[in-house]
Every structure is written in C-alpha cells, then in structure tokens.
Chain A
Amino acid sequence: MLGAFVNAFRTPDLRRKLLFVLAIIVIFRLGSQLPSPGVNVSNVRECVAQLESNSGVYGLINLFSGGALLQLTVFALGIMPYITASIILQLLVVVIPRLEALKKEGQAGQAKITQYTRYLTLALAILQATGIVALARGGQLLQGCTLPLLYDDGVQTMLTMVITMTAGTAIIMWFGELITDRGIGNGMSILIFTQVVATFPSALWQLKEERGWDVFGMVLVIGMVIIAVVIFMEQGQRRIPVQYARRMVGRRMYGGSSTYIPLKVNQAGIIPVIFASSLLYLPALATQFDQDQSSSVAQWIQAHLVSGDHPIYMAVYFAMIIFFTYFYVAITFNPQEVADNMKKYGGFIPGIRAGKPTEEYLSYVLSRITAPGATYLGLIALIPLIALALVNANQNFPFGGTSILIMVGVALDTVKQIESQLQQRNYEGFLR
C-alpha cells in the first residue's frame, strides 16, 4: 500500500499531476478563508461562535462551502452554483427537445451543454451572492446576532461584494476544470471533497469537547463501520455477460470476445442525496423571507420540515431519495440504447435474443438491482438525522450520510484513476 504511494510519486508524470492538484487545493482553501472586502471580520467571528450549532437551513450549503459561506469569504458560494446549474441542465435535457438533440450529438453537443452550464453557473452565482449579501446586511444571515456584519450599508459596498463573490465562483469553476484537465480525477468533485474534509476534524473535535472521550470513541467506531458499508456497496456490481460474435471484415477477424456490462448497485452515486436535500431545503428557505413567520403554512413548515429529527422530515427525505435514485438511473442508463448498440456490433447476452428482449431484460435487472441501492442511499442519508434524534448531536454530525458518501465516493474514484495511471507503467496498484 505505502509502496504504491512511493511509486506514484516516483513516476514523473503522475507526480506532476498530484502536485498540481495539491497546489490548487491549497489556493482554494486559502481563498475560502479570505474575507471579501467590506466584511467586519471580528463581528462575523463572534456571531459564528455565538451560533455554535449551525442552523439547519444552511447546513448543507455550509457543508459544501467548507464553512466559507457563513464567514462571507470570497469563495463563499463555493461549488454550489455549479452543482445547481448542472442539476437544472440535467433536468432540462429531459424536458427541452433541443437540449436532448444536443446531448445525442455526442462530444460537440456535450461541450455546448457544458458551456450553457457555465453561463448558468455565473447567473446563479450573481443571484445567490446578492441574496447572501442582502441577508448579511439585514442581519438575517446569522440569526440571533445583532452585531453588524458589514462595515457600511451602502449600495456601493454591496455591489463590490457581489461582484467579488461572483468572480470567486468563476475562479472556482476554472480551478475545477484545470484539475479535470491537467490533474487527476474530476475537478469539481475533488473541490467538494476538500471542503467536506476541511470541516471534518473541527466537527469531530467539537463532539469530543461537548461529549467527552467515550462518545467520541463510539462515533469513530460507528463511522468506520459506516465507511466500510459504503465502500462495500459502492463497489458492488452485477456483471451481465455479453458475447460478441466473430466476424470477418476484409482479411481481419473482429469480435469473438466475451465481456460484461457492469451494473452497479448504486448506479446513481450520491446525486439523489444532493437533489433531495437541495429540494427539501427550499421550503425552509422560503419561510426565511417571511419576517414574522406567523402564517400557518410557515409555522407548519418550521415545525415539520426544518428540524431533521421530525418523522415527517425523515419520511419525505427518504421517499425523495428513492424517487430520485430511480429517476437518475433512468436518465443516465438507457437500456434501449445499450441493447441497440449491442445489436449493432453483433453482441448478445447468452440465452436472450438481441433487440427488444435484451432491452427488457436489462431494464428488469436494473430496476431490481436499484431497489437495494436506493434503500441503501436513503438509509445512509438518514444516519445523521437518526443520530440527531438519539444522542442529540447537532445536524452537522461528522459522520453524516452526505459527507461520508461524498468522501468515500470521490476518494474511490480518484484512487481508481491514479491506479489506472500507475498500471500503465506496470506498477503494483493500491487496490487488489
């Protein structure tokens, strides 16, 4: 294991890529600590300390921005606008025929969709930055804190902050693309990974300070078990055998090989969890703008959908995750397309006819294998909520489902990519 790391650094090509990623992460973290001009840093510090447990509404966003959001730093928005933009475009592809046509076009169309995502990211960044700065000015960002967060309330200061934060988001987007392009792994997910990991030690330490060593130890053990389960489930896949017919084209022989289609148990990754939590936080956000929160709807939402320990919240969350898992698998894996492609290249699943029966078989297997996958995702995501109800931990419980899923998922993916680079040079890899 350690030898593999040494080998990774001994390969010049790989070493350059790893160092590049590390350098970008350092700059990224630095920017996440740098307050945007106009913020009264000492007041913000005091308010955040007063707030101690993060109010549930911003929990997820704050998690994704690694605590940068509440500090109003230049990278306060983090990668959230990009994620939201990707989700929106992902959904629009299903709805708008023109986008669907673009997607089918292949590489060029995909590049165009990426370009749209980037424009939308910046538009969303402007929106969110304005929202956050306005909340900070009105004193609603950190509720229950009366100190002014900004030096002055002028329009000019606000405008500067919004523009700076938007530029920050653009830089983050560029960093992500640079990592994807010249580093290892997918840039955006590595950046999210960094932010999640960054808040991890302090959250753990806070738990120890509040509860003492025995709870701390127990949480660590449970965390290890959860990580093991997550790795086990993420690696799980069903291999559907595919046999390719031998054929002669001119004087050369093609095909005749047998491969398999890997159907992962959790084909959708953690996207359903992100979808569900982003959607679930909308009603809570809406009530924030209602000043006195006196209407019955607002009160109902406050009681049932904001705090994570209410059974209705858990049930809705769980149901939404299962729905989105199926939804996302349906978007990303199209049995008809796979069956058609197989038929085109002379492949077939042993015992099943090509064409329509293959398509039916694939969708049958897929829907059956997604059932445990969806349940697993839902249960993992519920862990912090259950912990919240049981031991009264705060919502940013360090071994929370979303953060563990992100950490394990991204780490596995990145290690696999490093591994494939290593194996090009015949070195022994990390994973056996």
Chain B
Amino acid sequence: MIITLTVLLVLTSLLLTLLVLLHKGRGGGLSDMFGGGMSSGLGGSSVAERNLDRITIGAGVIWFACVVALGLLLKIEHGG
C-alpha cells in the first residue's frame, strides 16, 4: 500500500511540475513584486489554458490526497 502510494505520489509530483511549467508565466521579475510599476496585462486566458488549469487542479488534488494518506500510513506503521 505504502509503495503504491509512494509511486503515485512521485508520478503526480512530476506531472504537476510539468503542468505548472506548461502554464504561461504571468507577472515576472522582482521589480513587480515589491512596489514596482502597476502592470496589469489583461489578456484573458485561452481555452487551452483553461483546460490546463483543470488538469492541474485535478493532479493537485490527487497529489494532496497522496501526501495526506502516505503521512497517515507511515505514522500508523511506525506507531507514532
């Protein structure tokens, strides 16, 4: 069980990282971060981007569930 979950966790982690990198980066640079100029590039998101969002959220939920489940299982196994 633990091994299955670990494998699943690793896979979803890699998938998540990949998916996030596929997104178009918004708001770059440090100057934006701390009181730079106001830049509000409103482009609206495309259909592809919206589908990507959905897939990312799905992967994120699975990832989250894996982390919680694995944490609980490990805790039970080590009796602590």
CA distance A37 to B45 in the complex (A): 35
Q: Is the CB of B20 within 8 A of A174?
A: yes
Enumerate chain A residues within 8 angstroms of B21, measured Cβ to Cβ.
118-119, 122, 170
Shortest CB-to-CB span from B67 to chain A, Å, is 6
Please name all residues of chain A whose beta carbon is closer than 8 Å to the beta carbon of B34 when the two chains form the complex.
Answer: 189, 269-271, 406, 409-410, 413
**Number of B interface residues in the complex (CB < 8 A):** 39
A53 within 8 A of B: no
B32 nearest in chain A by CB position:
A186
Number of A-B contacts (CB under 8 A): 131
Taken together as a complex, chains A and B put the C-alpha atoms of A41 and B28 apart, in Å, by 36
Interface pair A37/B29, CB less than 8 Å apart:
no
Residues from 20 to 54 in B contacting A, C-beta threshold 8 Å: 20-21, 23-36, 38, 41, 45
Please give me the residue from chain A that is nearest to B3 by CB atom.
Answer: A156
CB of B53, distance to nearest CB on chain A (Å): 8
Question: CA A42 – CA B24 in complex, angstroms?
Answer: 40
Nearest Cβ on chain B to A194's Cβ, whole angstroms:
14
Q: Are A86 and B30 in contact (CB under 8 A)?
A: yes
CB-based contact B71/A35 at 8 Å:
yes
**B19 vs chain A, min Cβ distance (A):** 8
> What separation, in Å, do the CA atoms of A417 and B42 have in the docked complex?
14
Of residues 81 through 140 on chain A, the ones whose CB sits less than 8 Å from some CB of chain B are: 83, 86-87, 90, 107, 110-111, 113-115, 117-119, 122
B29-A114 in contact (CB<8A): yes
**Cβ of B13 and Cβ of A164 under 8 Å apart?**
yes
Chain B residue nearest to A107 in the complex (CB): B41
Of the four ranges (under 10, 10 to 19, 20 to 34, 35 or more), the interface on chain A belongs to: 35 or more
**Binary contact readout A184-224 vs B (1 if CB under 8 angstroms, 0 otherwise):** 00111100000000000000000000000000000000000
Q: Is the CB of B80 within 8 A of A170?
A: no
Cα-based distance from A177 to B28 in the complex (angstroms)? 9
Chain B CB count within 10 A is highest, among A111, A151, A160, A186, for: A186
Q: Which of A37, A83, A177, A420 is in CB contact (< 8 Å) with B26?
A: A177
B27 touches A90 (CB 8 A): no
- Provide the residues of chain A in CB contact with B33, threshold 8 Å: 86, 186, 188-189, 269, 271
- Interface residues in A363-406 by Cβ distance below 8 A to B read 406
Which residue in chain A gives the minimum CB-CB distance to B73? A37
- Other-chain residue from B16, B24, B68, B75 in contact with A111 (beta carbon distance below 8 A): B24
Chain A's interface: helix, strand, loop or mixed, by majority?
helix
B35 to chain A: which residues have CB within 8 Å?
234, 269, 409, 412-413
> Which B residues are CB-close (under 8 A) to A36?
67, 71
With a cutoff of 8 Å between Cβ atoms, the chain A residues found around residue B78 in the complex are 40, 151
**In contact, A90 and B29 (Cβ under 8 angstroms):** yes
Q: Are B56 and A174 in touch, CB under 8 angstroms? A: yes
Q: How far is the CB of A269 from chain B (nearest CB, A)?
A: 4
Q: Are B17 and A115 in contact (CB under 8 A)?
A: no
Q: Does A166 contact B (CB under 8 A)?
A: yes
A-chain residues with CB within 8 Å of residue B74 when the two chains form the complex: 37-38, 151
Q: Is A342 an interface residue (CB 8 A)?
A: no
With the chains together, A319 CA to B39 CA distance in Å?
A: 32
B13 touches A42 (CB 8 A): no
Beta-carbon nearest neighbor of B29 in chain A: A86
Nearest CB of A to B60, in Å: 6
CB-based nearest A residue for B15: A167
If A111-B25, A117-B28, A271-B33 are given as contacts, then 20 extra A-B residue pairs at C-beta distance below 8 Å, sorted by A number, are A31-B64, A39-B71, A41-B75, A86-B30, A90-B29, A110-B29, A117-B25, A117-B29, A156-B6, A160-B9, A177-B23, A177-B27, A181-B26, A186-B27, A189-B33, A269-B33, A270-B34, A271-B31, A332-B31, A420-B38
A-B pairs with the 6 shortest C-beta distances? Answer: A114-B28, A180-B27, A167-B13, A269-B34, A37-B70, A114-B25
A-B CB contact pairs (8 Å), 9 listed: A41-B75, A83-B30, A111-B24, A122-B17, A159-B10, A160-B6, A167-B63, A271-B30, A410-B34
Interface residues, chain B, with chain A CB atoms under 8 Å away: 6, 9-10, 12-14, 16-17, 20-21, 23-36, 38, 41, 45, 56, 60, 63-64, 67-68, 70-71, 74-75, 78, 80
